[in-house]
Chain A
Amino acid sequence: MTGTVVTITSGKGGVGKTTAVANIAVALASEGQKVVCIDGDIGLRNLDVIMGLENRIVYDIVDVVEGRCRTRQAMIRDKRLPELFLIPAAQTRDKNAVSPSDMVRLCDELRGEVDWILIDSPAGIERGFRNAVAPADRVLIVTNPEMSAVRDADRVIGLLEAEEKPAPSLIINRLNPSMVRRGDMLSVDDVYDLLRIDVIGIVPEDENVIVASNRGTPLALDGKSKAGQAFRNIARRLNGEQVPFIDLESQSLWDRLARLAGRK
């Protein structure tokens, strides 16, 4: 096996990186692929919580890097999907406990064992970000349709260009189609117009995401929600499939009535 290392990053915080990692991982593993997620947000770990694996942590990534355990011992197996693993971040150490070359070494070891290595990057462009992108074969940048998030995404793309990393792809998360229609939110085109990189996913705003995170059962596991579907589509596109974007623009009954009444 030669696993692919995919790093999910953003620049701005809170845009949905951890949510994306958990859901894409679950979607890939449901298709029978072997996946390991690495929480790169040392000191602020939360991928374990969103995946519902927090109570099973024994060793973490710093233990691996500092040689206190073997890599296998730090890989927590998911309860639902036997092909899904998590290497948690350390909660009590700071990001300097791991270096970019540690990450490269760890991923090189894992590449032989799994199909996908997904790395959850911390926000920002400092050490934690560089740790997360150092081993990446692919980088996915998460942004929200919001000027400040897009600006930070642009900065990150510039830095990746400087590091001569392969061209990143974009996930636009928390799109609210009715706000876009009213002109109150940047559209996919607006975001693309500025960033000009390949768009690999468009995920709608969906309160089920928050419910699912609180339960520790990522949305992509099952459910009919559009957000879950959007994450599953990202997983398929990572696998090289051509998947059309789901129609987020299809209008609600209310919108259609409003339009008929000449209000829009």
Chain B
Amino acid sequence: MAESSLVQIKGIRDGLLVSLGEAAWPVAQRALLERIESQPEFFKGARLSLDVGAQALRAADLTALRDELSERGITLWAVVSTSPVTENTAQLLGLATRLFKPSPQRQSLSRASDRNVSPAKGLDDETALWVSKTLRSGTRIEYDGHVVVFGDVNPGAEIIAGGSVIVWGRLRGFVHAGARGNRQAVVCALDLSPTQLRVADEIAIPPRRSGKPQPEVVRLKDGLLQAEPWQPS
């Protein structure tokens, strides 16, 4: 197979998007590195997103590639894949797993500040990502819909959701719900002591809590993030 069909490159808002063909991983990886070596100046300092199709990659594969790239002055920041294995690996390594396509409003996750976006935009009310493990420091989960965690979210872990975030466990990391501007999104946890919370473009740094944890729900009220204890009705 010709090298050019193995590696396709295009510029996106967040840097370069490289799509690798369906070749075996060592072949695909070598093709990418050869391509980079043929144009070192073009790639130097680039932020690279990688679309690996259905390849199932383990941590050893992705970390090895990330090292190779960083030795060439390239930052690997996202890995997109249809394989759940690869997606899981990328999340554990703290890499982004979704490329938010630029919408007409040019709204992005990191700058979800456009207030006049209709609340439900970008959110599919029906879909949720189910995560049944504790998210440890350095893990980053990004998802367009809701995220449900059956486990803890440790300090240093991040969840960025288009919809709401429910944690059946202790929430001590970072959560951004309604990341595309949905101000109806909520965050709830059995023990809510996050390092920072965001809903849409509002930010809250919760005070240190003492005493017995209780289930709480955080939502936007009158433009402010407010936590309320959950009450059986």
Using a CB–CB distance below 8 Å, which chain A residues touch chain B? Answer: 100, 126-127, 130, 134, 147, 151-152, 154-155, 157-159, 161-164, 194, 196
Q: Does B59 contact A (CB under 8 A)?
A: yes
Closest CB in chain B relative to A185 CB, distance in Å: 17
Closest CB in chain A relative to B232 CB, distance in Å: 27
A130 touching B137, Cβ below 8 Å: no
Residues of B within 8 A of A163 (CB): 58-60
Q: How far is the CA of A159 from the CA of B92 in the complex (A)?
A: 7
B67 touching A155, Cβ below 8 Å: no
Counting from the closest, the 6 A-B pairs by CB-CB distance are A158-B136, A162-B59, A162-B92, A154-B137, A155-B138, A155-B137
B93 touching A162, Cβ below 8 Å: yes
A126 touching B67, Cβ below 8 Å: yes
List 6 interface pairs A-B (beta carbons < 8 Å), by A numbering. A100-B60, A127-B67, A134-B60, A162-B59, A162-B88, A163-B59
- Which of A100, A159, A162 has the largest number of chain B CB atoms within 10 A? A162
A152 touching B137, Cβ below 8 Å: yes
Chain A facing B: main interface SS:
helix
B89 touching A162, Cβ below 8 Å: yes
Closest CB in chain A relative to B188 CB, distance in Å: 21
Other than the given A154-B136, A154-B137, A155-B137, 5 more pairs (CB < 8 A) read A130-B63, A151-B137, A161-B133, A162-B59, A163-B59
A158 touching B92, Cβ below 8 Å: yes
Closest CB in chain B relative to A130 CB, distance in Å: 6
Residues of B within 8 A of A130 (CB): 60, 63-64
Residues of A within 8 A of B64 (CB): 130
Binary contact track B123-167/A, C-beta < 8 Å → 1, others 0:
000000000011111110000000000000011100000000000
Closest CB in chain B relative to A163 CB, distance in Å: 5
From A100, A164, A196, contact of B58 by CB (8 A): A164
Q: How far is the CA of A162 from the CA of B140 in the complex (A)?
A: 13
Binary contact track B24-54/A, C-beta < 8 Å → 1, others 0:
0000000000000000000000000000000
Residues of B within 8 A of A158 (CB): 92, 135-139
Q: How far is the CA of A157 from the CA of B92 in the complex (A)?
A: 10
Q: How far is the CA of A63 from the CA of B55 in the complex (A)?
A: 36
Closest CB in chain B relative to A109 CB, distance in Å: 21
Known: A159-B92, A162-B59. A151 touches B156 (CB 8 A): yes
Q: How far is the CA of A14 from the CA of B174 in the complex (A)?
A: 27
B92 touching A161, Cβ below 8 Å: yes
A155 touching B58, Cβ below 8 Å: no
- Which of B88, B139, B154 has the largest number of chain A CB atoms within 10 A? B154
Residues of B within 8 A of A147 (CB): 155
Closest CB in chain A relative to B26 CB, distance in Å: 13
Closest CB in chain A relative to B207 CB, distance in Å: 17
Residues of A within 8 A of B133 (CB): 161
Closest CB in chain A relative to B149 CB, distance in Å: 14
**Complex: chain B residue closest to A160, CB-CB:** B59
A194 touching B154, Cβ below 8 Å: yes
Q: How far is the CA of A114 from the CA of B89 in the complex (A)?
A: 35
A154 touching B58, Cβ below 8 Å: no
Residues of B within 8 A of A164 (CB): 58
A155 touching B63, Cβ below 8 Å: no
Residues of B within 8 A of A161 (CB): 92, 133, 136
Closest CB in chain B relative to A139 CB, distance in Å: 14
Closest CB in chain A relative to B168 CB, distance in Å: 16
Closest CB in chain A relative to B72 CB, distance in Å: 13
B58 touching A162, Cβ below 8 Å: yes
B63 touching A154, Cβ below 8 Å: no
Closest CB in chain A relative to B131 CB, distance in Å: 13
Q: How far is the CA of A127 from the CA of B67 in the complex (A)?
A: 7
Q: How far is the CA of A158 from the CA of B136 in the complex (A)?
A: 6
Residues of A within 8 A of B92 (CB): 158-159, 161-162
B136 touching A155, Cβ below 8 Å: yes
B156 touching A196, Cβ below 8 Å: no
- Which of A126, A127, A130, A194 has the largest number of chain B CB atoms within 10 A? A194
Residues of A within 8 A of B58 (CB): 162-164
Q: How far is the CA of A196 from the CA of B60 in the complex (A)?
A: 24
**Complex: chain B residue closest to A158, CB-CB:** B136
Closest CB in chain B relative to A152 CB, distance in Å: 7
Q: How far is the CA of A194 from the CA of B133 in the complex (A)?
A: 14
